Amino acid sequence: MHQKGERRVSFIRPKRIFTLLAAGLLLATQAGMAQAAYPERAVTLIVPFAPGGPTDIIARILAESLGRSLHGTFIVENHPGAAGNIGMGLAARAKPDGYTLLLTSTAIAVNPALYKKLPYDPFKDFAPISELVDSPNIIVVSAKSPINSIADLVKAAKAPGAKFNYSSPGIGTKSNLTGEELKQRAGIEMAHIPYRGAGPAAAAALEGTVQVASVALPAAEAMVKSGQLKALAVTGPQRWFSMPNVPTMIESGYPGFVSETFSALFAPAGTPQDIIDLLAKHCADAFKDERALKMAHASGFVVVSGTPAELKAHMEKEIPAVKALVARAGLKQQ
C-alpha cells in the first residue's frame, strides 16, 4: 500500500516493450509501402483545351510515358472553354493528393493579364512540376509578297500611306502578343485581325487577306516548306531545328525578343512534396524516349523537361511581363 504523497512509478514489462516496438515498425513499413505504391489508382491529367490540340497531344504522350514508368494509369480529361479557365479552375479545386494534375499551356501565365476574375490563382493554387516542351511563334507572309525579312516589313509598314494588318489565332493568344510586341519594338502600326485558330490565321496570309501572320510555328511550317509562305523570323531563342535558314527575332535586331508557348505540368497546391519530386523525375525521362521525342518534334515542340524550381521561376518572370505588354498594347480585360 502506498502512503499519501508517495510517488507511484509504473514499469512496462520487457515483453510489452518488444510488442510496442514491433507494432511501430510494422506501421512504419506499411506507410513506406503505401508511399512507394503511388499511384495506387488512376491519375487524371486535366487538359483545359479540346482534344487534338497541341497541349492535348503533349498530355497524351506524357500520360502514356508516366503510365509505363510508374506502373499506373494516367487518364487525359479534356475540359475546354473560356480560354482554358474552366479546366484550370477545376484543377485548382481538386484534392491535393497527386491524383488530379493539370497539363496546360502558356494560358496559365497569360490569362491573369486578360481576365478580371479567374477561378484560380496561378501562384497560390498550383504547385509547379515541370515545363515539358516549348514552341515558338513564327512571322510569315505570302510567297508572293515583296517582303523578305523583318527589316523589309518594318520599312514597308513605315512607308507613307502604308496600311498594314496582321492575323493571329485570337485576341490574347501568345501569337497576338508577339504581333503587339513587334509593333511596339519596331515603332510600326499594324491592325490586328483575329481568327479562330492558327490554321485560318496562316491561311489568311497565304490568301492575301492580311499582309502578315503571327502564328504558332506548327500551323505554318508545312506551308513554309512547300513554298506557299515565306518565314521572316521565329520567336524562339534559337533557330528552329527543321528550318535552319529562318532567323530569330533576336538575330533580326531585337535583343531579348523571345515569345514561346509552353506546355507544363502542375499539381494542386498542397500536393505532397514527395509526389511532386517523383513526378518531376519521371517527366524529365518522359521525352527521352525516341518515339515520344519524334512526336513532340512533329507537333512543333522542343523538349525542355525542366525542374519545379525552373517552372516556378519562369512563371514569376512571364506573368508580370505579359501584364506589362498587355497594358502597353491597350488590350482590354474581359
CATH at 60? 3.40.190.150
Query: Residues with Cβ < 8 Å from 273, sequence gap 6 or more?
Result: none
Same domain? For 124 and 269 the reply is yes
> Is residue 20 included in any domain, yes or no?
no
In a domain, 273, yes or no: yes
Q: Is residue 252 part of a domain?
A: no
My answer on whether 124 and 272 are in the same domain is yes
Q: Could you give the number of structural domains in the chain?
A: 2
Last-in-domain residue among 187, 218, 234: 234
In a domain, 247, yes or no: no
For residues 229 and 112, what is the distance between their CA atoms, to the nearest angstrom? 33
Q: What are the residues facing 75 on neighbouring strands?
A: 44
The pLDDT of residue 210 is: 96
Q: Check whether residue 122 and residue 209 sit in a common domain.
A: no
State pTM to two decimals: 0.82
Please say which residue of 234, 251, 284 terminates a domain. 234
Could you tell me if 227 and 146 lie in one domain? yes
Question: From the CB of residue 56, how many other CB atoms can be counted at a distance below 10 Å?
Answer: 22
52 lies in the same domain as 119:
yes
113 and 183 fall within a common domain: no
Q: What is the pLDDT of residue 299?
A: 83
* C-alpha to C-alpha distance for 13 and 33, rounded to whole angstroms: 31
For the chain, how big is the Rg over CA atoms in Å?
Answer: 26
Q: Could you tell me if 116 and 48 lie in one domain?
A: yes
Q: Residue 56: give the domain boundaries.
A: 43-133+263-329
In a shared domain, residues 124 and 155 = no
Q: pLDDT tens, position by position, for the chain (334 residues)?
A: 444 444 444 444 545 544 444 444 444 444 443 345 899 999 999 999 989 888 999 999 999 999 999 999 999 999 999 889 999 999 999 999 999 999 999 999 999 999 989 999 999 999 999 999 999 999 999 999 999 999 999 999 999 999 999 999 888 889 999 999 999 999 999 999 999 888 899 999 999 999 999 998 888 988 999 999 999 999 999 999 889 999 999 999 999 999 998 999 999 999 999 999 999 999 999 988 888 888 888 888 999 999 999 999 999 999 999 999 999 888 877 8
**Which regions of the chain does DSSP assign to beta strands (E)?**
43-47, 74-78, 100-105, 126-142, 165-168, 191-194, 212-216, 229-234, 260-268, 302-303
190, 215, 234 — which closes off a domain?
A: 234
Phi, then psi, of 266 in degrees rounded to 5: -130, 160
